[in-house]
Structure 1
Amino acid sequence: MRLGGKVGRDSLAGRLTENASEPGFEFKPDQPYAELWMGTHPTNPASLHSSPSTLLSKHLESHSELLGSGTEGQTEGHVPFLFKVLTCKQALPLQIHPNKELAKKLHEEDPEKYPDINHKPEIAVCLSPSFLGFASFRPYNQIISFLTKTPEIANLSGDIKNKIDQFAKNPTGDVLREVWEGFLRLSDDESVVKQYAERVLKEGVEAFKDFSGEGFSDREKENLLKAIKLSKEYYHGDGGLFSTLFFLNLVELKKDEGIYVGADGPHAWLEGEIVELMAISDNVLNVGFTPDEDKDDPSLVSKTVTCQSKTPTELKLISQIFSKSQKGQSKVYKVPFEEFSILKISNDDVLIPFDGPAIAIVSSGTWDISGEKAEEGSCWFVGAGTEVEFERERKEGGEDAQVWIAFYDADAEKDEVGEK
């Protein structure tokens, strides 16, 4: 649970938790629910439904064949990814996950704060009608528009303004890193941020009348306004508004659209519901939408990022019929690496066995999974080498029905799961 979740059954994570949790779990309709975790992560490990006192990791330690090729480089008994359903109604912390090189260095320097040496790329796919989130740096010309057409910039320090001038004249990743670090140093109670938010909310989309071209369509301006409204409601004055809005893409996903964020890609999820898939790692740097005492050193954070710009189109994932789908009713989201993948099943199908592990969750509808009834929230571990059959229960009204599967499969086509 996080403060950013929706309350009770308004939260998809909450509704799914009713069936995904251990026997005796008490669902509280007045409590916010933000995250449902699936996997063997020690912070919130899964147990067997048939034996709630048995952790999945312990079961897999004595049945390592169920992990197959997914055991490479992993702690014994652990699934090589963390699968989540996430519901948010306000901005979750602006975060960066270090790449492998920096993760190793941080672990050696402070193993308590950075407990492993893994990187943490992420996949997110939208489950709600729409989802908003900040991800990766905008094209440089868009960043320059924000930094040169925002009146409140004049109220910032001379040091930041000098760095902005340098970036406008020489827009490179190295210069941008210095500019962004200056903005990361703004506190969670900045008067200039409050002034900006109040002005924009008063003016509405007209506040962006001088912004044009790619990244500034009418719809994108409406989303900018929405992000500022959310910031004022939950984080009024937090410098994270400037270090996201001015620098990062504000990406809108529609239902079933996916996005990929690399290991050093800054991101902050704003509003909506997603399935999220990531490497098992606790390495994270928090830099915004969180109290000052919880923020990490900006100089360390700025060294983490490449400041490589991308467009929302470049971040979004393409889906296609999965080659291991015998009936063509499963779509896999193409990712740029082989560490883990995600697919969606929307109708009756049979999956050819993976050579690694998988975790499946029923996000909607009622299904028969290899002869057993599975309702909304049912969560399944699928061992390597296991063929699985999915049959959806038909109801009047054409009820939406989906199963989401996170998996590792070195045998899959490389244009589907990427190269390792």
Structure 2
Amino acid sequence: MSDHKHIIRLQAAMGEYDWGRQGSSSLAARLGPNAVGPTFRVDEGKCYGEMCVGTHHNGPLTAHLFDSPSRSLLDLISTDTKAYLGEKLSDTPSSTTRIPYCIRILSIRKMAPLQAHPDLKGLAGQLRQSAPDSFIDASFHKPQIAIALGEPLCITRAQYKGEGRATVGHAEVDDPDTAFMGFVGFRPLEEIKAFLEKIPELVAAIDEPALVIKFTQSPSNELLKQVYAKLLNRGAEAREEVAAVVKKLQERMMQNGAYVLGSRESEFLFRLFMKVNAQYPGDVGVLATTFFMNFAKLRKGEALYIGADEVYAYMEGDIIECKAISEPENVASATTEDSPPPLTTQVRSSISLLTFTSRPTSHWALPAQRYSQGRQHRSVKYGPPSEDYVVVGTFLSTLKAKEEVLEPILTPTIGIVIRGKVRVSASSKKRGECLDLDEGSVIFVPPGNEIRVEVLEGKGQEGAGELWWAQWSA
């Protein structure tokens, strides 16, 4: 490493999407000036959905060097893959010059369209053949981690309203400490069965009574797949009819009360239904999410792990997401408020190739663990099962915990400063470099470097400094 830098500042990409938070209410946008560069200016009339760092060969996932914006990180790595990726990545049979994951800060104001990820080998390859424009990389599957970063939604909503930027959807479904909401995976089969038995509008939307009866008599994952596919296809082929069914259910609940849903959670389901329908009026996704999928709420620092072949949709909040490298997905489609995209487009195109399982929400919870490479014990990690990448959060304070040292690992590290001003040093074999970094700064640290972090200026009463890292096989 003597001929290479020990720490490299990166230029991230900013994405503007209809589902993103508006103006400076977006965490991604607030990080923008130091992440994207001094030319970035927050436009309070635009919606900023993501800040992204990666080395994909195509589109906005490609990071560049902050001090040389015309040069991509991918290009730099290709000059010496062993130095920048380490032997573990560069010597594998499927080695490339890319970092095998991307990291994103997502700021979500309203629900983004549903997504589903193919598995590693069989389905990813089939998707590559069946929909090459949407699924480019058959060699990688796309499981991911999503960690809640922001303040409770009740606080951020109050700020939005004071600034004239209210969230979309009238009914609130979160708790006082909820920082993120979304849908993930399918509900337990018995719950779906109960909805199909008690909500005639749901059966009408599917429009195949024999299939519904078959499912309710003997629920199974295979029959669930058939029922769900039929519902989504009806939403595309008979949009007006499905919209009329959604409207009828809404009117019946408003007239007779939420109890018509026949569930212990009827009042909550009613509010959830109303919130999604306010964002995507009459869309089949209102039914496909509310009555078929688990609703997840995260407090700050809580996380979800969404494996390959799982269905999910982010609804509201700020998160840091890390996933195996992949092509940008339909979730990036930008539209106007007057014409939102169908919630289910991407999932409908791939549902016949995917296998779904039915589990409770707790199945997707990913607890934080002690990060053994953090010498001062100021860091925690989120490591998904059976995956090689981890996300690490480092939390410092000017009052009581000013420093952390991350021991060297054999693969590269990408870091993002979320709060405060910090000094980051990277060193190997008595050589090293140091950078003072403000909020939003993004760095790349090659393998074999010890990383030392010191908070210089903290935020809030605790003088907080906060950084997040993505690593491979930490």
TM-score normalised by the chain length of structure 2:
0.78
| CA distance, structure 2, for counterparts of residue 254 and residue 13 of structure 1 | 19
Equivalent of 1:167 in 191, 215, 223 = 215
Q: Residue 290 of structure 1: CA displacement? A: 6.2
SS in 2 for 1:342: strand
| 1:404 aligned partner | 468
Cα separation, partners in 2 of 1:400 and 1:165, compared to 1, 3 Å: farther
Matched, 1:90 2:110: yes
Matched, 1:22 2:37: yes
Supply the AA of the counterpart residue of 2:345.
Answer: K
Cα separation, partners in 2 of 1:191 and 1:316, compared to 1, 3 Å: same
SS in 2 for 1:156: helix
Q: Residue 106 of structure 1: CA displacement? A: 2.5
Deviation digits for residues 8-35 of structure 1, max 9, x if unmatched?
1101111111210034223322211001
| 1:43 aligned partner | 59
SS in 1 for 2:322: strand
| CA distance, structure 2, for counterparts of residue 356 and residue 201 of structure 1 | 56
| CA distance, structure 1, for counterparts of residue 260 and residue 454 of structure 2 | 51
| CA distance, structure 1, for counterparts of residue 93 and residue 294 of structure 2 | 33
Deviation digits for residues 253-307 of structure 1, max 9, x if unmatched?
1111000111100011111110011111127578x99646982584x63333322
Assess if the C-alpha contact under 8 Å between 1:285 and 1:301 holds in 2: no
Q: Residue 327 of structure 1: CA displacement? A: 0.8
Deviation digits for residues 148-207 of structure 1, max 9, x if unmatched?
222423533541x32221111111111111111111123254211122234446667555
Deviation digits for residues 213-269 of structure 1, max 9, x if unmatched?
xxx4x9xx53x4443233222210000111111111111111110001111000111
| CA distance, structure 2, for counterparts of residue 74 and residue 17 of structure 1 | 34
Cα separation, partners in 2 of 1:200 and 1:59, compared to 1, 3 Å: farther
Give the number of the structure whose residues are more often strand, by fraction.
2
Supply the AA of the counterpart residue of 1:120.
Answer: K
| 2:377 aligned partner | 328
Assess if the C-alpha contact under 8 Å between 2:285 and 2:342 holds in 1: no
| 2:144 aligned partner | 122
SS in 2 for 1:5: strand
Query: After the TM superposition, which residues 302-321 of structure 1 pair with which residues of structure 2 at under 5 Å, given as runs?
Result: 302-321=351-370
Supply the AA of the counterpart residue of 1:365.
Answer: G
| 1:66 aligned partner | 84
| 2:228 aligned partner | 180
| 2:126 aligned partner | 105
| 2:318 aligned partner | 273
Q: Residue 81 of structure 1: CA displacement? A: 0.4
Query: After the TM superposition, which residues 349-388 of structure 1 pair with which residues of structure 2 at under 5 Å, given as runs?
Result: 349-370=404-425, 371-388=434-451
Residues paired across the two proteins, number: 399
Deviation digits for residues 354-402 of structure 1, max 9, x if unmatched?
2112211111122111132111111111211111011123557214431
Matched, 1:343 2:406: no
| CA distance, structure 2, for counterparts of residue 283 and residue 263 of structure 1 | 16
Q: Which is further off, 368-377 or 378-387?
A: 368-377
Q: Residue 144 of structure 1: CA displacement? A: 1.3
TM-score normalised by the chain length of structure 1:
0.88
Equivalent of 1:8 in 15, 23, 44 = 23
Assess if the C-alpha contact under 8 Å between 1:338 and 1:408 holds in 2: no
Deviation digits for residues 94-145 of structure 1, max 9, x if unmatched?
1112113111122234534432202111110001221111111111111112
Q: Residue 93 of structure 1: CA displacement? A: 0.6
Cα separation, partners in 2 of 1:49 and 1:306, compared to 1, 3 Å: same
Cα separation, partners in 2 of 1:67 and 1:141, compared to 1, 3 Å: same
Matched, 1:211 2:263: yes
SS in 2 for 1:306: coil
Cα separation, partners in 2 of 1:197 and 1:95, compared to 1, 3 Å: farther
Equivalent of 2:201 in 152, 159, 165 = 152
Cα separation, partners in 2 of 1:383 and 1:55, compared to 1, 3 Å: same
Matched, 1:301 2:320: no
Q: Residue 73 of structure 1: CA displacement? A: 5.9
| 1:132 aligned partner | 181
| CA distance, structure 2, for counterparts of residue 391 and residue 335 of structure 1 | 28
Segments of 5+ residues of structure 1 without an aligned counterpart are: 413-420
| CA distance, structure 2, for counterparts of residue 313 and residue 250 of structure 1 | 10
Q: Which is further off, 288-297 or 164-173?
A: 288-297
| CA distance, structure 2, for counterparts of residue 320 and residue 13 of structure 1 | 26
| CA distance, structure 2, for counterparts of residue 372 and residue 203 of structure 1 | 62
| 1:56 aligned partner | 73
Q: Percent identity?
A: 30
| CA distance, structure 1, for counterparts of residue 350 and residue 42 of structure 2 | 38
Assess if the C-alpha contact under 8 Å between 1:90 and 1:230 holds in 2: no
Supply the AA of the counterpart residue of 1:97.
Answer: H
RMSD of equivalent CA atoms: 2.6
Segments of 5+ residues of structure 2 without an aligned counterpart are: 1-15, 153-178, 334-338, 397-402, 426-433
| CA distance, structure 2, for counterparts of residue 358 and residue 165 of structure 1 | 52
Assess if the C-alpha contact under 8 Å between 1:264 and 1:304 holds in 2: no
Supply the AA of the counterpart residue of 1:70.
Answer: L
| CA distance, structure 2, for counterparts of residue 204 and residue 125 of structure 1 | 35
Q: Which is further off, 318-327 or 277-286?
A: 277-286
Cα separation, partners in 2 of 1:35 and 1:202, compared to 1, 3 Å: farther
Supply the AA of the counterpart residue of 2:146.
Answer: A
SS in 2 for 1:256: coil
